[in-house]
Structure 1
């Protein structure tokens, strides 16, 4: 049975620990969640999900980091039952408005969209429900960028649940290329694409890096959206730039404020220049243009 790390404390303690863990375990790519469990008591919970073979090392490292922060919240190793907790957690999520879009789960099908473009997302085992600042920030930035910018060839790199690709397809009614390194993510993406009735517009592919023939076939791209992590984004900068058309724009998300300079340096070397920076819920979205 799978295990995970769990702690309870005050809102300040848990949110401080969660934000710190996001930086400490960034390279590992562990999922981290923090949420309120008792409003009256002011009690919050923190969950950290390492790979099975890394649970012991992650536990020791997390304890050390909590000590360094002078946080005395008790950290435990818990058993994760045979339940799809990602899907189950969606049952309680409320719709999220982000720019001209509203993202919701199947339990809110038929809601009043108030004139916004509705995107139904059932995340399954793929990242991206619209509730995280990285995704919401991307959607808001896309809403603004597309008012005066009209890309013809569009790539959603690291599509996850395909929330961004679906939003773009519904907004523009044109082809969007959506790729991800994870086959499970692409299967989830296809399900969401079908649910949202945009299959004619979204072309998916399982692709690690830019070796897949779809990039040569469909690129260079006028717009690339990459909601990933700082490390992979820096490594992919040369190839991403090569597959971006002159005058094309790149929207990068999944970044913490302290990573801004490193990521910008990697892309400036490739001829991409910053147009603006947007912050959403403590996360950054960078909008760049290839000159």
Structure 2
């Protein structure tokens, strides 16, 4: 076990790292983990199912119980000793920007403070620093959604909702493409909504309605329904569970963009939305990940199943 102590400041938090496989990483990302830690999984070697990494961030140095709980998540690590690193606030700044080169998708460029760029002619650059929320544009699902939205630039949408907004990037892209539209961005995590608000101010984005909500049927969300464009870049499990919710707040023939699913999960996600009257229109596969564009039914969908009482707002999410 290696422990690196910073020399310039007291530790602000701790990072514990174990090797893992992609299957273990996907199970962690899709499941509920009873740990007071922020978990992040990363592909170490492209297209190598066995070379992934689990990073766990904790406020205190991990004790034996925490290490045992983390090790249980990644059985493939065996008896390999974890790497434990004490982090200072200065370390976080460096870590959050490390290796994040600008991403270009259509007219959009997404960059961090460490890699400033000028926008392309007729395009738009977004400054999105990595940090407390998912969605910097560097993941295939987010960049794929950017490309999908860019291809729809000649369409007209009056009301747009970004469900699971993360950093707010996709909502910002929608605001750029359809400046006259009413934009709503939601997330289950209040921190993500705070990050979206900060990023919006930093990028000079027009006012966006920001909502903290579990699911898509909270009163604050339905008050703006129906929506003409619905974006949900989350995980396959929640997409399947939320299909009736999303369809219920979609306008007749609305456009629905879905991401956060693996290609192996495409069939079950498409089936869930087809059961709600939606039609698959486009598939953008990026490595193992897939972005879908669907069209809602010609008449507004009315759920026949009542809200699940386990959910705070509508059907319970399978998070």
Q: Could you state the TM-score of these two structures normalised by the residue count of structure 2?
A: 0.75
1:247 paired with 2:247, answer no
1:63 paired with 2:75, answer yes
1:146, 1:188 → 2: CA distance?
A: 26
Instruction: Spell out the pairing of 1:29-44 with structure 2 (5 A cutoff).
Output: 30-35=39-44
2:90, 2:31 → 1: CA distance?
A: 22
Contact 1:18/1:32, CA 8 A, preserved across alignment = no
1:26 paired with 2:29, answer yes
Q: Spell out, residue by residue over 1:197-228, the C-alpha distance to the aligned partner (whole angstroms, 9 max, x if none).
A: 1133x211111113432322211111100000
Contact 1:5/1:75, CA 8 A, preserved across alignment = no
Closer, same or farther in 2 for the Cα pair 1:60/1:151, shift >3 Å?
same
Q: Any idea what SS the aligned residue of 1:254 has?
A: strand
Q: Spell out, residue by residue over 1:229-279, the C-alpha distance to the aligned partner (whole angstroms, 9 max, x if none).
A: 011111111111000111101101001111111111111111111111111
Closer, same or farther in 2 for the Cα pair 1:122/1:245, shift >3 Å?
same
1:55, 1:99 → 2: CA distance?
A: 43
Instruction: Spell out the pairing of 1:36-185 with structure 2 (5 A cutoff).
Output: 46-49=53-56, 55-64=67-76, 74=80, 76=82, 78-83=84-89, 87-92=93-98, 93-109=100-116, 111-115=117-121, 116-147=123-154, 149-174=155-180, 175-185=182-192
Which of 185, 200, 222 in structure 2 is aligned with 1:216? 222
Q: Spell out, residue by residue over 1:172-206, the C-alpha distance to the aligned partner (whole angstroms, 9 max, x if none).
A: 21321001111111111000000111133x21111
Contact 1:87/1:122, CA 8 A, preserved across alignment = no
Partner residue of 2:5? none
Q: Spell out, residue by residue over 1:150-176, the C-alpha distance to the aligned partner (whole angstroms, 9 max, x if none).
A: 111100000010010111112221321
Shift of 1:27: 2.2
Q: How many residues align?
A: 266
Shift of 1:124: 2.5
Closer, same or farther in 2 for the Cα pair 1:195/1:100, shift >3 Å?
same
2:215, 2:25 → 1: CA distance?
A: 24
Unaligned ranges ≥5, structure 1: 8-16, 37-43, 68-72
Contact 1:3/1:55, CA 8 A, preserved across alignment = no
Unaligned ranges ≥5, structure 2: 1-12, 33-38, 46-50, 298-319
Instruction: Spell out the pairing of 1:222-261 with structure 2 (5 A cutoff).
Output: 222-261=228-267
2:147, 2:177 → 1: CA distance?
A: 13
Partner residue of 1:41? none
RMSD of aligned Cα (Å): 2.6
More helix by share: 1
Q: Could you state the TM-score of these two structures normalised by the residue count of structure 1?
A: 0.82
1:282, 1:98 → 2: CA distance?
A: 18
Shift of 1:54: 6.4
Shift of 1:21: 2.9
2:92, 2:233 → 1: CA distance?
A: 19
Shift of 1:86: 6.1
Contact 1:90/1:105, CA 8 A, preserved across alignment = no
Closer, same or farther in 2 for the Cα pair 1:136/1:150, shift >3 Å?
same
